[in-house]
Each structure stands twice: as C-alpha cells, then as structure tokens.
Structure 1
Amino acid sequence: MTTTPTPTWPAPWAVRLFSTAHLPMLDLIEQLANDYKAMDASDSRSVGLAYALQVLGQSYAEHPAYQQEWRP
C-alpha cells in the first residue's frame, strides 16, 4: 500500500514563484500596510486601503496561518 505524502507549505514550486513574481507584490503590500498604519482612522481612504490589502492577501489563502476573517 502506498501513502500520499502530506503536502508542506510552501511547496518547492511556490518558493520559486514567490522569489520571482511575488516580490514586487509583497513590497506593495508592505508599503500599503505601512501607509494604512500611519493613516488616521477618519481618513476616507482607510476603508479602500484596508479592502485592497485584503484582496492582495487572498493570494495567500492556502497558507496554514491565513485566517478566514481576513477575506474581503
């Protein structure tokens, strides 16, 4: 009887993908998060920025630490 190995995160192909295609997106997310933290809660842009961060973060929904309440 053969057993299916338990997938690990990140998968080897994901490491390569993150190291190339996702770095610019991660930089953008970090910049947006820093802007959001510095933004006054009464700033009308804060709601849109929070939503943008949630949408960008959805690409990591398969990560074990991703929390469902982060979904937009």
Structure 2
Amino acid sequence: MKVLRAILLGCLVMMVSAGITQAAEENEAVPIIEIENPTYDFQQIPQGEVVKHDFRVFNRGSAPLEIKSVKPG
C-alpha cells in the first residue's frame, strides 16, 4: 500500500510541475525558427571544390533568435 501511495504521489507531483511549466511557457516570449527550404542537395562535389547555398531563416516568434552554430548534415 505504501508503494502504491508513493507512486501515485510521484505521478501527481510530475503532472503538477508539468502544468506549471507549460503555463509559464505560454506566457513567455520565445523565438520560433522557420527555414524556407531546410535541405539542399548539392549532388556530387569534386574534392576541394567550394560550394555555396543560401538558406532563408525567419524568426516567427516574439523573442530574438540566436543561431549559435551551423553544421552540415
């Protein structure tokens, strides 16, 4: 019985904390990234060749969007 009570109490605490976190997130200004065409196929590139492609990135949120690093996939 004590184990069941502890499990129920743990579940209740998790649900309440998730609800509080979600309510706080709904009121916060957050950045929302949108990338017009998120992928681009360069086909085959000869070794040593330099290639370039521009990706259009938009911030659809209400807070500044910071892009701290970009890596090829």
Query: Same fold, TM exceeding 0.5?
Result: no
Query: Larger helix proportion, structure 1 or 2?
Result: 1
Query: Larger strand proportion, structure 1 or 2?
Result: 2
Structure scoring higher RCO (CA < 8 A, sep ≥ 6) equals 2
